[in-house]
Structure 1
Amino acid sequence: MPKRLRLTRRFPVAMTNDAYRSLHRFAAEAEITPDEALCFLFEHFNSVTNAENLTARLRLFKAELPDRKA
């Protein structure tokens, strides 16, 4: 029997316009709500990410952070 989708945890999230648009585009393509899309991505994080790509992308993102915050 599948787990019930109860959205019991809420947290304020700040994201870039690009991230917001990507989330909403993904949700629309999957025909689910943005909340459901985030639940899916985080519940299945290890299976929807490539560990090598994630490490490289995270390194690049962290290197760009000081410039992006300015």
Structure 2
Amino acid sequence: MPKRLRLTRRFPVAMTNDAYRRLQRFAQDAELSQDEALTFLFENFSSVFRDDNLAARLSLFKAELADRKA
């Protein structure tokens, strides 16, 4: 029997406009709400993201982070 989808945890999220638009597009394409889309991504994190790509993209993001905050 599948787990019931109960969205019991809430947290404030701040993100860039680009990230928010990407989330909206993903949710719309998948015919999910934004909450459901984020839940899907995090519950399936290890199968959705490739570890080698994730590490490389995270390194690039961290390297640019100081410039992005300015």
Among the aligned pairs, what percent are the same residue?
Answer: 76
Q: Secondary structure at the match of 1:67?
A: helix
Residues matched between the structures, number: 70
Question: Structure 1: any 5+ residue segments left out of the alignment?
Answer: none
Q: Scaled by the length of structure 1, what TM-score is found?
A: 0.99
Higher relative contact order (CA 8 A, sep 6+): 2
Question: Structure 2: any 5+ residue segments left out of the alignment?
Answer: none
Equivalent residue letter for 1:63: A
Q: Scaled by the length of structure 2, what TM-score is found?
A: 0.99
Alignment pair present for 1:16 and 2:16 = yes
RMSD: 0.3
